[in-house]
Amino acid sequence: MSDLTFVSTNPGKAREIAAVLEPFGVRVKWYRRELPEPQAATLEEVVAAKLDAVRDISGRVLVEDSGLFIPSLRGFPGVYSAHFLRIWKFGPIFELLESRPRRAYFRTVAGLQEGRRRAMFVGEVRGSISDRARGRHGFGYDPIFIPDGWDRTFGEAPAEAKNGISHRARAVRKVGTAIAGGRPFGATARSRGALKTR
Ligand code: IMP
Protein backbone atom coordinates (compact mmCIF):
# COMPACT_ATOMS: atom_id res chain seq x y z
CA MET A 1 0.00 0.00 0.00
CA SER A 2 1.18 3.56 -0.67
CA ASP A 3 -0.24 6.67 0.98
CA LEU A 4 -1.73 9.76 -0.55
CA THR A 5 -3.26 12.84 1.09
CA PHE A 6 -6.40 14.20 -0.55
CA VAL A 7 -7.06 17.82 0.36
CA SER A 8 -10.63 19.13 0.13
CA THR A 9 -13.54 20.22 2.28
CA ASN A 10 -15.89 17.85 0.46
CA PRO A 11 -16.45 14.49 2.21
CA GLY A 12 -18.35 13.15 -0.83
CA LYS A 13 -15.29 13.60 -3.03
CA ALA A 14 -13.00 12.07 -0.39
CA ARG A 15 -15.20 8.96 -0.18
CA GLU A 16 -15.29 8.54 -3.95
CA ILE A 17 -11.56 8.98 -4.34
CA ALA A 18 -10.69 6.53 -1.54
CA ALA A 19 -12.93 3.87 -3.12
CA VAL A 20 -11.45 4.37 -6.59
CA LEU A 21 -7.80 4.29 -5.45
CA GLU A 22 -8.08 1.33 -3.09
CA PRO A 23 -7.79 -1.30 -5.85
CA PHE A 24 -4.54 0.39 -6.95
CA GLY A 25 -3.01 -0.22 -3.51
CA VAL A 26 -3.29 3.47 -2.58
CA ARG A 27 -4.54 4.42 0.88
CA VAL A 28 -6.19 7.85 0.93
CA LYS A 29 -5.96 10.15 3.93
CA TRP A 30 -8.50 12.97 3.82
CA TYR A 31 -7.11 16.34 4.91
CA ARG A 32 -9.96 18.77 5.40
CA ARG A 33 -8.74 22.21 4.33
CA GLU A 34 -10.36 25.12 2.53
CA LEU A 35 -8.39 25.82 -0.66
CA PRO A 36 -8.34 28.93 -2.86
CA GLU A 37 -10.76 28.88 -5.78
CA PRO A 38 -9.57 31.78 -7.94
CA GLN A 39 -11.89 33.11 -10.63
CA ALA A 40 -10.12 31.38 -13.50
CA ALA A 41 -11.02 30.43 -17.05
CA THR A 42 -10.12 26.75 -16.71
CA LEU A 43 -10.23 23.96 -14.14
CA GLU A 44 -6.48 23.48 -14.75
CA GLU A 45 -5.76 27.01 -13.48
CA VAL A 46 -7.84 26.39 -10.36
CA VAL A 47 -6.02 23.10 -9.72
CA ALA A 48 -2.63 24.79 -10.14
CA ALA A 49 -3.64 27.37 -7.51
CA LYS A 50 -4.82 24.59 -5.19
CA LEU A 51 -1.51 22.73 -5.62
CA ASP A 52 0.40 25.91 -4.76
CA ALA A 53 -1.66 26.10 -1.55
CA VAL A 54 -0.76 22.58 -0.39
CA ARG A 55 3.02 22.81 -0.81
CA ASP A 56 3.48 22.59 2.95
CA ILE A 57 1.97 19.08 3.04
CA SER A 58 4.62 16.38 2.67
CA GLY A 59 4.36 13.17 0.69
CA ARG A 60 2.01 12.61 -2.23
CA VAL A 61 -0.82 15.12 -2.28
CA LEU A 62 -3.92 15.09 -4.47
CA VAL A 63 -6.34 17.94 -5.14
CA GLU A 64 -9.04 18.24 -7.76
CA ASP A 65 -11.55 20.62 -9.24
CA SER A 66 -14.67 19.69 -11.14
CA GLY A 67 -17.47 21.40 -12.99
CA LEU A 68 -20.70 20.79 -14.85
CA PHE A 69 -20.52 22.14 -18.41
CA ILE A 70 -23.67 22.76 -20.49
CA PRO A 71 -22.74 23.48 -24.12
CA SER A 72 -26.10 25.17 -24.96
CA LEU A 73 -25.31 27.66 -22.14
CA ARG A 74 -21.81 28.22 -23.57
CA GLY A 75 -20.30 25.89 -21.01
CA PHE A 76 -22.01 27.50 -18.00
CA PRO A 77 -21.84 26.89 -15.01
CA GLY A 78 -18.41 25.28 -15.74
CA VAL A 79 -15.69 26.76 -13.54
CA TYR A 80 -18.41 28.67 -11.68
CA SER A 81 -20.31 25.49 -10.74
CA ALA A 82 -19.74 25.76 -7.00
CA HIS A 83 -20.61 29.48 -6.73
CA PHE A 84 -23.69 29.03 -8.92
CA LEU A 85 -25.05 26.08 -6.97
CA ARG A 86 -24.51 27.80 -3.62
CA ILE A 87 -26.48 30.85 -4.70
CA TRP A 88 -29.06 29.60 -7.19
CA LYS A 89 -29.49 25.84 -6.80
CA PHE A 90 -31.04 24.10 -9.84
CA GLY A 91 -33.97 26.43 -10.67
CA PRO A 92 -32.32 28.75 -13.23
CA ILE A 93 -30.75 25.80 -15.07
CA PHE A 94 -34.16 24.14 -15.51
CA GLU A 95 -35.61 27.46 -16.70
CA LEU A 96 -32.83 28.16 -19.18
CA LEU A 97 -33.00 24.62 -20.56
CA GLU A 98 -36.74 24.74 -21.25
CA SER A 99 -35.88 26.04 -24.72
CA ARG A 100 -32.33 24.72 -25.19
CA PRO A 101 -30.59 21.36 -25.70
CA ARG A 102 -30.05 19.56 -22.39
CA ARG A 103 -26.68 17.96 -23.20
CA ALA A 104 -24.08 18.36 -20.46
CA TYR A 105 -20.84 16.91 -19.21
CA PHE A 106 -18.93 16.75 -15.96
CA ARG A 107 -15.18 17.31 -16.08
CA THR A 108 -12.60 16.73 -13.36
CA VAL A 109 -8.98 17.80 -13.32
CA ALA A 110 -7.00 15.99 -10.62
CA GLY A 111 -3.61 17.40 -9.60
CA LEU A 112 -0.97 15.19 -8.00
CA GLN A 113 2.04 16.73 -6.28
CA GLU A 114 5.09 15.45 -4.47
CA GLY A 115 7.75 17.99 -3.55
CA ARG A 116 8.46 20.01 -6.68
CA ARG A 117 6.89 17.54 -9.09
CA ARG A 118 3.30 17.70 -10.23
CA ALA A 119 1.03 16.22 -12.90
CA MET A 120 -2.60 16.66 -13.90
CA PHE A 121 -5.12 14.01 -14.97
CA VAL A 122 -8.44 14.67 -16.70
CA GLY A 123 -11.72 12.73 -16.65
CA GLU A 124 -15.10 13.44 -18.25
CA VAL A 125 -18.56 11.89 -18.39
CA ARG A 126 -21.21 12.94 -20.91
CA GLY A 127 -24.94 13.01 -20.36
CA SER A 128 -27.93 15.33 -20.06
CA ILE A 129 -29.80 17.43 -17.52
CA SER A 130 -32.97 15.84 -16.10
CA ASP A 131 -36.33 17.65 -16.06
CA ARG A 132 -36.32 17.74 -12.24
CA ALA A 133 -34.03 16.85 -9.32
CA ARG A 134 -34.12 13.12 -8.59
CA GLY A 135 -32.39 10.99 -5.95
CA ARG A 136 -30.63 11.45 -2.64
CA HIS A 137 -27.26 9.88 -3.33
CA GLY A 138 -24.08 11.77 -4.12
CA PHE A 139 -23.80 15.55 -3.83
CA GLY A 140 -23.81 18.78 -5.82
CA TYR A 141 -25.40 18.41 -9.26
CA ASP A 142 -25.79 14.61 -9.02
CA PRO A 143 -29.64 14.79 -8.76
CA ILE A 144 -29.96 16.55 -12.15
CA PHE A 145 -27.35 14.70 -14.25
CA ILE A 146 -28.31 11.62 -16.29
CA PRO A 147 -25.19 9.95 -17.77
CA ASP A 148 -25.46 8.68 -21.35
CA GLY A 149 -26.86 5.14 -21.43
CA TRP A 150 -28.62 5.54 -18.05
CA ASP A 151 -32.29 6.22 -17.31
CA ARG A 152 -31.61 7.62 -13.84
CA THR A 153 -29.57 10.46 -12.38
CA PHE A 154 -26.29 10.07 -10.50
CA GLY A 155 -28.35 11.06 -7.46
CA GLU A 156 -30.50 7.94 -7.84
CA ALA A 157 -27.53 5.59 -8.15
CA PRO A 158 -25.47 3.94 -5.41
CA ALA A 159 -21.89 5.13 -5.04
CA GLU A 160 -20.42 2.10 -6.82
CA ALA A 161 -22.49 2.78 -9.94
CA LYS A 162 -21.40 6.43 -10.07
CA ASN A 163 -17.78 5.45 -9.47
CA GLY A 164 -17.94 3.03 -12.40
CA ILE A 165 -18.22 5.86 -14.92
CA SER A 166 -17.90 9.27 -13.27
CA HIS A 167 -15.62 12.10 -14.38
CA ARG A 168 -13.85 12.02 -11.00
CA ALA A 169 -13.39 8.24 -11.05
CA ARG A 170 -12.00 8.43 -14.59
CA ALA A 171 -9.46 11.12 -13.67
CA VAL A 172 -8.52 9.39 -10.43
CA ARG A 173 -8.17 5.97 -12.06
CA LYS A 174 -5.53 7.59 -14.29
CA VAL A 175 -3.79 8.74 -11.10
CA GLY A 176 -3.98 5.17 -9.71
CA THR A 177 -2.66 3.68 -12.94
CA ALA A 178 0.24 6.15 -12.98
CA ILE A 179 1.11 5.44 -9.32
CA ALA A 180 0.84 1.67 -9.81
CA GLY A 181 3.13 2.05 -12.86
CA GLY A 182 5.75 3.54 -10.56
CA ARG A 183 6.26 6.86 -12.37
CA PRO A 184 3.32 9.15 -11.66
CA PHE A 185 5.24 12.25 -12.78
CA GLY A 186 7.25 10.63 -15.55
CA ALA A 187 6.89 9.43 -19.12
CA THR A 188 4.47 6.67 -18.13
CA ALA A 189 2.01 9.14 -16.66
CA ARG A 190 2.29 11.49 -19.64
CA SER A 191 1.64 8.78 -22.18
CA ARG A 192 -1.51 7.82 -20.25
CA GLY A 193 -3.04 11.26 -20.56
CA ALA A 194 -1.49 13.24 -17.76
CA LEU A 195 -0.60 16.83 -18.48
CA LYS A 196 2.78 17.71 -17.02
CA THR A 197 2.68 21.23 -15.68
CA ARG A 198 6.33 21.84 -14.97
P1 IMP B 1 -15.58 21.89 -6.97
O2 IMP B 1 -14.72 20.93 -7.71
O3 IMP B 1 -15.71 21.51 -5.53
O4 IMP B 1 -15.22 23.32 -7.21
O5 IMP B 1 -17.02 21.62 -7.54
C6 IMP B 1 -17.75 22.53 -8.30
C7 IMP B 1 -19.21 22.29 -8.11
O8 IMP B 1 -19.60 21.14 -8.84
C9 IMP B 1 -19.67 22.08 -6.68
O10 IMP B 1 -20.91 22.71 -6.52
C11 IMP B 1 -19.80 20.60 -6.55
O12 IMP B 1 -20.82 20.25 -5.64
C13 IMP B 1 -20.18 20.21 -7.97
N14 IMP B 1 -19.65 18.90 -8.26
C15 IMP B 1 -18.35 18.53 -8.32
N16 IMP B 1 -18.25 17.23 -8.55
C17 IMP B 1 -19.52 16.76 -8.64
C18 IMP B 1 -20.05 15.47 -8.84
O19 IMP B 1 -19.37 14.45 -8.95
N20 IMP B 1 -21.38 15.38 -8.87
C21 IMP B 1 -22.19 16.47 -8.74
N22 IMP B 1 -21.74 17.68 -8.52
C23 IMP B 1 -20.40 17.83 -8.47
Each residue's pLDDT expressed in tens, for the chain with a length of 198 residues: 899 999 999 999 999 999 999 999 999 999 999 999 898 999 999 999 999 999 999 999 999 999 999 999 999 999 999 999 999 999 999 999 999 999 999 999 999 999 999 999 999 999 999 999 999 999 999 999 999 999 999 999 999 999 999 999 999 999 999 999 999 998 644 445 566 554
Residue identifier of the C-alpha nearest atom 15 of ligand 1: 66
Q: How close is the Cα of 12 to the center of ligand 1, in Å? A: 9
113 closest CA partner among 164, 56, 168, 180 = 56
> Which residues sit with their C-beta closer than 6 Å to ligand 1?
10, 65-68, 81-82, 85, 106, 138-142, 154, 166, 168
pLDDT given at position 189: 46
**Within 13 Å of residue 169, how many CA atoms lie on the same side as its CB?**
16
Amino acid at 103: R
pLDDT given at position 194: 61
Residue identifier of the C-alpha nearest atom 9 of ligand 1: 82
Q: 138-141: long-range contacts (C-beta < 8 A, 24 or more apart)? A: 138/12, 138/162, 139/10, 139/12, 139/13, 140/12, 140/68, 140/81, 140/85, 141/68, 141/81, 141/85, 141/90, 141/106
172 and 21 in contact (C-beta within 8 Å)?
yes
In this structure, the dihedral spanned by the alpha carbons of residues 88, 13, 174 and 115, taken in order and rounded to 10 degrees, is 110
65 is catalytic: yes
Residue identifier of the C-alpha nearest atom 7 of ligand 1: 82
Q: Which of 10, 139, 165 to mutate to test the pocket of ligand 1 (most atoms within 8 A of CB)?
A: 139
Span 38-88, pLDDT tens digits: 989 999 999 999 999 999 999 999 999 999 999 999 999 999 999 999 999
- Which CATH number applies to 2-195: 3.40.50.9100, 3.40.50.150, 3.90.950.10, 3.10.400.10? 3.90.950.10
pLDDT given at position 187: 60
How many other C-beta atoms are found inside a 10 Å radius of the C-beta of residue 100?
A: 12
Phi, psi (rounded to 5 degrees) for 133: -70, 130
47 and 111 in contact (C-beta within 8 Å)?
yes
